[in-house]
Amino acid sequence: MREITYRQALNEALAEEIARDPNVFLMGEEVAEYNGAYKVSQGLLDRFGPTRIIDTPISENGFAGLGIGAAMVGLRPIVEFMTFSFSLVAFDQIVNNAPNMLTMSGGQFNVPITFRGPNGPAHQLGATHSHATECLYANVPGLKICTPATPRDAKGLLKAAVRDNNPVLVLECELFYSHKGMVEDEDVDLLIPLGEAELKQEGSDVTIICYAQTVPIALAAAENLAKENINAEVIDLRSIKPLDWPAVFKSVAKTHRVVIAEQDRPWCGIGSEIAYRIQQEIFDELDAPIQRVSQEDVPMPYNEALEQAVLPSAAKIVAAVKKIC
């Protein structure tokens, strides 16, 4: 094991999969000559050349469609969006074509494509660059969605996504690119199955369900709660679709109280579905109403103080836990 950044973990995953499979290639805005907007593709052009690392025009709908066509004829494209807010320009390709082609072709065409890039709010990017898109895409049958919160998960989930025969969205965290964490050595073929949650911290009093940017704030909340003798269990979903329901139900049956922390807005969100499934499947295990902590249901402000007021926080999670404990 060694300590590397989230950015380096993604870079290693890309390099390993491109080297392993000649059908894999990376395409997107500035991924080649500029080494990526966030330097995730640093050095890949020099190593693999312009037929494997391809700069595209500023035309998300166009290069997303090109990637889907390439996947239909046997290649395995990795399409980078500079931000998943820009993926909304390619919504038709991602929602209408990629997930439906297998069914609409009667099983003739798989679409093994990976869409990746930063998702969700970062820091003072304004309303049009701060979208958390997971609930939009989770509503679409045929798409898989993972949300790595650590360098290890970033590498293992991206490699698994590239090898999957379905379209997969790897929703990265822009603010985490410089975060460091322990990852297996490069000679280990690290694969983390899609749909497998991780128990980040064991507890007995309440389950905090989180993913992506809410993972570190959930852990910070758990640390603060421990000072008040409230023992929180923290579950990192890692994948939104498929979602690890057995892990969620097991934890809730243990603690009997639930707080769901999500980076997206509350209306029709990921937390809504999780809350519904918990009460549907194991209602008798609940000793208190399920609580949710999310963004406020407003366009993201640019002002820093207002932005912080809108976003989920450790303090908001602590308040939600105290309400039911």
Nearest-Å Rg of the Cα atoms of the chain is 20
Block residue for tokens 């993913």: 211
* Phi, psi dihedral angles at 106 (to 5 degrees): 65, 35
Tokens read off for 254: 């243990």
User: Is 129 assigned a catalytic role?
Assistant: yes
Catalytic option among 129, 131, 196, 233: 129
Percent helix, strand and coil across the chain, each rounded to 5?
Answer: 40, 20, 40
Taking the C-alpha atoms of residue 114 and residue 145, their distance in angstroms, rounded to an integer, is 10
User: Is 131 assigned a catalytic role?
Assistant: no
Secondary structure in 3-state letters for 279-296: HHHHHHHCCCCCEEECCC
* Beta strands, E only, the chain: 2-5, 24-28, 53-55, 76-80, 114-118, 144-146, 168-172, 180-183, 198-201, 206-210, 232-236, 239-241, 258-261, 291-293
Tokens read off for 130: 């701060």
Q: Which residues pair with 261 in a beta bridge?
A: 293
Catalytic option among 16, 17, 60, 233: 60
Tokens read off for 239: 């994948």
Q: List, as one string, the DSSP characters of 27-62.
A: EETTSSTT--TTSTTTTHHHHH-TTTEEE--S-HHH
Q: Which residues are catalytic?
A: 60, 129
